[in-house]
Structure 1
């Protein structure tokens, strides 16, 4: 119900308005009556009415003065004037005080009804607007972290714009960054982010980002003023205020603590690039660019580092390029199956690439891809490139374009070329017996573990399909049958010794499920392990 306060110095008018109008049908209740403006003002402050129906001329304080006082103290109150015909011009001028309307004496109840319907609709419209503003304020508060992040991203990209607008935004977002102050930007990047983040569900990615931001912010707060935000997936920006020269001295130690804490709590490795000092907020984009460039040098310096551009040696303006002679020599060494000389060639080429230090990540990846394609072309030439190798080659190229350092690229290429050399040796010398012996040796050493054909094939640098086919042709049994035979022979030997429990034997020969072990054992010997032990004791 909306509350109505009536103010009139005529008792009959007050009584008539209070007792003979059906206010409830408008959703209104009379909360008080007053015979002069002073009393009405006191009641209004106490009762907080939604509507004040007041006579224009009253003793002590007239309706015009009362409306002025009400407007100053009760912002949302709706004011209606009651006036005689002689006061009509006076009332019209009073309406400029934002009164809703006026009603002439003697009162016409039909006219009163129309006016009250209009007043109630105005009140409801105000309520709707207030509700909308409340919802917007709530959404604004909820969006504040996102708005802060968006603003800080703008700050490191274009400096934040004009000083006046910048100050206004800083106040709105409750960010303490004086325009005239010394600042520095640092970039924190998760190492191998493509491998770490791509398999994660979106919820886990968000949780990791939240954890990284909070840990970095806690480390910063314990040392100096600053803010942390996620710039893009896997990259976080620290915007720091250097309040004194002591803050400069603490920077490296603080980032060392940050790197160690992230590794300890989240089990992630990060590379941190530190930019140049900015003397004003407008210079933050230059500081961010320097920090980003410093972090990019992870490509040559390796992961899990803290890097500043000032600490980097100047490099030549020229860029390393592979020559046709380099690629021909690589193909020649591979064709000879000489992995040692191939490895020396690749190491030398990547040492030259690292020495220049002016190539981009994509350029280094493309250089490695050129070498990989040289090996692939050789396999086509030797008719060794089958579907199985195509799948393995696709896996290598996919891994290559997720790598972030030249050392990792070099290691991947060395593994790739070792496989090619082994494949060429196998084809050329037809050492089937050697392959079978390698399989048996590996099984003999690892039968107690969760052994798979892929493990065996990877160990001898051959495809699983090829190893299975070769082993079957040479021995007449499958690799899985051979593994089972080795395990059963070992189990029979252990059953002869009563100190071993059945579950110990099961685990020792590679079966985590003793029931499954018993089933396989009976299939192999015709007896369960217990029956076998009982029969031969």
Structure 2
């Protein structure tokens, strides 16, 4: 139903037009009326009528000024002028301003008004149908174009095949200076407004519109949005422009899109720029390079714009995991509740990981360090926490090293804030258990350990049993047997060598302890597990 508004300073005229017919039977709804141009302008801004009938001579604001301002607000609204015989010059000015017709108030009949409104309504409906058909055709053309671009950029087809299809769609890529860049939202799982698939679809549609609008002012938009969330854009530069100028132009355009998305959607995106002087024959490679460049946001951080490099430049070498564990005693800080030192060490490890040659290697290092840390932490503190699964998933899914490390610090902060964990006696016992796990191969004299904490040996034994449910000696023996099983399964060392390695220099005593703990002698344990092919330390238990 189309919306009609009536503007006239004479109440009787407004009433007459409203009551001259059942407007709803003509598919017309009278949505408002006003007695002057100023009120009419406010009304139209709120109600958005399709058709406006307006007088010319009115108080406060006349019909001409109303029409002038209304056309600035809405150039598509249809305006009909109501005039008197001596208003001809005004009518001519109104038509110049965009009014589509006029009616003479002294002689107009209800049939005149109804016929004119119906004629305007018919024209509006034709315009809407034409606009919908054009939009549908444009949309179909856009979909076809994006499907062919996907074929071209995927590299799965002979290049000539999609290029011919693009030419048929009116797209010429013979330019020698083609740049390709890939864009993707950062850490999508951290965006509060993205709660489900529908939210993500709306977000991607909004990003598409921004890319469309930004490109349309420069050139025909050529981009795809694939199932992995990448927007891959082909940007055509002037063939006579130097490489340096191409880089500057493309970088500034990427920065413009990134900033617009941040401003209007409050979403951080990173962009990877592939080859800057690609041709239509190697666009697939340029697209792949753009996505490889974008992957480097793991090191560079959210909101980065990264130019592809064949080999990543690093400031140093990546230490081994054992070296990292030695330099940054995360377990010690975690067990003691020193969260400040823990966070500082994570920050330092993050700097070290930025020297990794690939994102995959940096992720794997971080995963291994965290798996060992939380596994040991849970065993020492007795806090039955399943954090390791969530941390593993988080490191795998985080687009940036910063996000992964922030999550690790937050999770550990939650754990050390646990009431059981913060108890001072528990802290002492956790520290002793850490010492055992790290120095099980040494002579762990109870007198020395007790003196370190300024408590008696007897009180230490009592406190250990009360806190853990087992004696100090049984815990020490369990740790040593655990390490002995690992050595038996993973090395070819002799039993006496393993006994020495776990802090029990007497091989016979070691064998007795091992049988009591595991249920069989060390050699039998090794032979049994080799015959079953099970190389896990927990494969046999008593």
Q: If the TM-score is normalised by the length of the shorter chain, which range does it land in? A: 0.3 to 0.5
TM-score (norm 1): 0.47
Larger radius of gyration: 1
TM-score using structure 2 length: 0.47
